Amino acid sequence: MKRFLPITFAAASLMSVMAVQAQETSPRVLTIFDEVKFYDGYNGTVFDADLDDGIIRHANHLYAVRLTDEQLDWMSDDLRMCVEIGALCDNYDRIGNINLAFVPKGAESYVPEEVERIELGRFITPFMNKNKKPKSVPYEFSNDATALIFRDSHLRAEYDYYLEFELFGVPYAANQQIIGCANRNDVFKGTLRFESTGEPAPQVENHVLVPIVMKRPESKGHNLNNYSEAGTDTIGTCTKTYHFEMPKDVQDARITLITSNHGANAGGEEYVRRKHLIYVDGELELVYTPGGVSCEPYRQYNTQGNGIYGNRPQSDSFWESWSNWCPGAAIPIREVNLSGLSAGEHSVMIRVPDAEFVDQQGDFPVSMYVQGLTEGALPAGVFGLFSEADVQLRISDGMLYVEGNDNVAELEIYDAGGRLCYGTLRPAGGISLAGFGAGVYIAVATTPDGRVTFRKFSR
């Protein structure tokens, strides 16, 4: 947040100019949900279901609003999705997300599991005591390519768009631990709005969207794991293949991917950082390890004592060693850039070979969709916590060089099977590739704050 000094006589002469500039840069705002209350996710009674506020309450943790044509026409080339969660009577860290459902035109309601849906953003609530400040936590997601979905003329002709706000919470601990929460079942309140500094943009004809997989909520069974038939291709391995069909050829394509690791039992997957490998049509396209960033910036929102933060600030190296995500932070959105993609059947496989799932607990919720353009290039995405490092990986004369403005904490090279072939901390100078056999490799450079850049190359 910017802080300004008190206005002096000299500064006052500039106020009229500053006022004009502020008007020019102030974003347009479209509010969809405004401090709506969420209730006990395990309670079968849907509270506030009879409110005449335009919200469909599928369950106490899943609400939906149909977007009007005027709201869809509001969308521009640049788009920021802003979420704010307010503290009520759940003082634990919970998973929440914003989804977009495609419902046949004219339907008065819908069953979420029976329509196509995609996840636009995911976040983790902090441990919050409603009696302490700050009493809310903000999240922001920025992805200009998302705007193309709202502006797709073919989708808009076939479907009504419903924005879903999903946030599963329970009040049982707060009923005992938080003053004023006895016998209450309201858990959080939530606000969702879009912001844009651009003008409304027209509908597009060249956009293609294909949902691949939508994460299951906590109460609806397993996501990716190594111990259930629904969670893995082969029991005992954390590997899952998802199939999708492109209806037409596209010049530029991108898979948008959201994953997070859960399992709070002793030795659970929340606390161990694992390498994730993403294959498209059998070829390794992305390697990443969740976490690796400091959780200290979110300490201020964790007003309820908990076993994660403790009483003292921790070093960056402490957080980098184990944190998959931070209570109070957004979950990173990742992308797999594919260039052209042909019409027909395709597959995406996710492997987390080292995942253990102690006592068969926990899972990795996975959401994916693919976007493409029949002509032109998709806009570059900006994803908050996850962004590409200002690093170039250059190959010349059998050497790999790391260049750019950012420091690199770690450099790794993987083969097409996901095997780590080379790794070093703080690489300096050129790295000889002479010992690498024929094949396809991916080099991954990671900065100290968790940003990464990739380079796929052949030998």
State how far the Cα of 35 lies from the Cα of 304, in Å rounded to an integer. 21
| Euclidean distance between CA atoms 414 and 386, whole angstroms | 21
Note the pLDDT of residue 142. Answer: 86
Amino acid making up residue 125: T
CA-nearest of 301, 296, 298, 295 to 86 is 301
Residues 312 and 403 placed together within one structural domain of the fold: no
Q: What is the pLDDT of residue 383?
A: 45
| 140 and 68 both lie in a single domain | yes
Residues 299-319: what's their mean pLDDT? 92
Digit-coded pLDDT (tens) for 194-214: 999 999 999 999 999 999 999
Residues 403 and 382 in one domain: no
* pLDDT attached to residue 1: 33
Last residue of a domain, one of 356, 387, 418: 387
DSSP code per residue over 70-83: HHHHH-BSS-EEEE
**What local confidence, expressed as pLDDT, does residue 20 receive?**
40
**1 lies in some domain:** no
pLDDT band of 176, cuts 50, 70, 90: very high
Domain that holds residue 37: 24-387
Within a domain: 2: no
Q: Across residues 310-330, what is the average pLDDT?
A: 90
The mean per-residue pLDDT over the stretch 220-245 comes to 93
| pLDDT of the residue at 24 | 56
For residue range 70-111, list pLDDT tens digits in order. Answer: 999 999 998 999 999 999 999 999 999 999 999 999 999 999
335, 358, 387: which is the final residue of a domain? Answer: 387
Mind listing the pLDDT tens digit for each residue in 380-399?
754 444 455 678 899 999 99
- In CATH, what number is assigned to the domain containing residue 421? 2.60.40.3080
**Above 80 in pLDDT, residue 15?**
no
- Counting residues of the chain whose pLDDT is more than 90, the rounded percentage is 74
pLDDT (tens digit, 9 = 90+) per residue, 333-364?
998 999 889 999 999 999 999 999 999 999 99
What mean pLDDT comes out for the span 291-304? 94
pLDDT band at residue 417 using 50, 70 and 90 as cut-offs: confident
Residue 18 within a domain:
no
Establish if 14 belongs to a structural domain.
no
Quick check: is 184 in a domain? yes
**Domain finish residue from 387, 417, 439:** 387
Count Cβ atoms below 10 Å from residue 398 Cβ, excluding itself. 12
- Does any domain span residue 8? no
Clarify whether residues 351 and 397 are in a common domain: no
Residues 373 and 397 in one domain: no
* pLDDT tier, 17 (very low <50, low <70, confident <90, very high otherwise): very low
Average pLDDT (132-150) is: 94
Q: Could you tell me if 348 and 424 lie in one domain?
A: no
Pair 383, 400 in one domain: no
In a domain, 13, yes or no: no
Looking at the structure, do residues 298 and 321 belong to the same domain, yes or no?
yes
- Predicted confidence (pLDDT) per residue in 219-228, tens digit: 666 799 999 9
Of the candidates 159, 258, 162, the one whose C-alpha atom is nearest the C-alpha of residue 209 is: 159
- Residues 410 and 304 grouped into a single domain: no
Query: Using alpha carbons only, what angle is made at residue 388 by residues 444 and 382, rounded to the nearest 5 degrees?
Result: 145
Burial 300-326 (b: 16+ CB within 10 A, else e): ebbbbeeebbeeeebeeeebbeebbbb
Kindly report the pTM of this predicted structure.
0.89
Residues 241 and 322 in one domain: yes
**Cα separation of 166 and 58, whole Å?**
10
Task: Identify whether residues 102 and 189 lie together within a single domain.
Answer: yes
Helix, strand or coil, per DSSP, at residue 396: strand
Number of domains in the chain: 2
Question: What's the CA gap between 349 and 408, in Å, rounded?
Answer: 28
pLDDT for res 149: 97
Structure tokens at 393: 């990986």
Residue 243 CA, chain-centre distance (Å), reads: 21
Residue 133 included in any domain: yes
The reported pLDDT for the residue numbered 16 is: 38
Q: Are residues 379 and 427 in the same domain?
A: no
What CATH number has the domain bearing residue 366?
2.60.120.230
457 vs 459: CA distance, rounded Å: 7
Give 307-316 pLDDT, tens digit per residue.
Answer: 899 889 999 8
Which residues are bridge partners to 442 per DSSP? 414, 456
Q: What strands lie across the sheet with 116-124, from one edge to the other?
A: 56-59, 62-66, 159-167, 95-104, 116-124
- Name the DSSP class of 6: P
CB 261 within 8 A of CB 325: yes
CB crowding 379-388: b at 16 or more within 10 Å, else e: bebebbbbbb
Mapping DSSP onto H, E and C, the string for 289-354 reads CCCCCCCHHHHHHCCCCCCCCCCCCCCHHHHHHHCCCCCCCECCCEEEEEEEECCEEEEEEEECCC
